[in-house]
A and B are shown apart, each in its own frame.
Chain A
């Protein structure tokens, strides 16, 4: 029964998307345009350069395209589905999260799992097409592929918890729009979505090392393209796991505090 409710809860987003074909078409179009533009940009940037920031052209293009695909993992139109914590706080429907025999933290995690698995199928589909078209290079070896998969999983766990902190903020501030704008920019910049962190000055890279963002994307993608050698993988995976643990404990603490602050509009 527990598995059944987990499955039902996790599939809410994919099912909602399947019921809304225009949204899927928009995702397909956006993803295609983004991949084409990003690949063209990095091809152009490397037109007269052999190796920059420790990466050759194929590595850079592969990194950039994978970053675009990976960003699909948690970029769904939750707002249209009226299922963000922000909206539940605004409409007062957050109360229902506390009226079910399913703890809100587990419900939130299951919903996010479903979203990420759904996003993953898009990313995987895009990856297969890009690989077949020669836009991205395959991983250097089976070991690299395995370490990349593990690192990507840890990275997604870090990302989930970072986004969760933003959601939990709503319990104190009701709105989180400003924080969300800052976080999305910081996440894209510091995780290497806009450009690989290897292109930034040393002080920037050092600063990023103390934040969780590079653990979400930069580390797994750098492992994939070989910019981080396999010999350094264990240390990187350990840092990612440490971030997961730290953020898990922090968000668990926040859930407990949030339960005392369930407020809704009116009454």
Chain B
């Protein structure tokens, strides 16, 4: 059809109108502004934390426990360690359950039970964190008779599970069915295919989900108030009340003492830095051993 060919040639040769070029520049500009608007709050928060907190960070702050009111110095070492301890407990409980539930939803959950679990996970994701704290209080603290690191870990684990479940499900569903079929065709059983092929193919996405959940609960205060409770001293026992950075920040921030306010700012800065370090470290370790050309 020669007419069409000529028409296309004309069309291609025609100069691009001012309107289109203007729209193009405008769209690019709007996208750039949006990026800045997204990054601005993050930058502002971090900048302000550095400004307020960096002055109080020193060796003592990172290695000592709090001093009584009126005495200068002291630090949040026990709270840093306590946070890490509680998060470890939460991850040990929450990550396997979350990933397991995600696997069920993606590989077996095309049914009524799957829909119920999906709905439940979404609702659980929206439950206020203080309510989850009360649940952990009811389950762990009341039955044990005292506050504990375990209770805090359980509360945070309950918060991690829905996020991990839903992202794991989505990441597994992104794995093309052809990859599963390739494994079935080799005579690999279904559970083996799920664990060694499907989950492995989706690893980087699943890790992203886990780290999102981790970062989200790392700064939670409300669910720890009456579970981990806080502690002015070192604690490594799973059954004892434990300090946490977020709790310590809360206590110090509402106190009437200037020295404590300064330490609260420093604690907040440390908390953010530790979350960034933890997330980056996991990404780095998980990214190592990736092959050239693999996605």
Partners in one complex: no
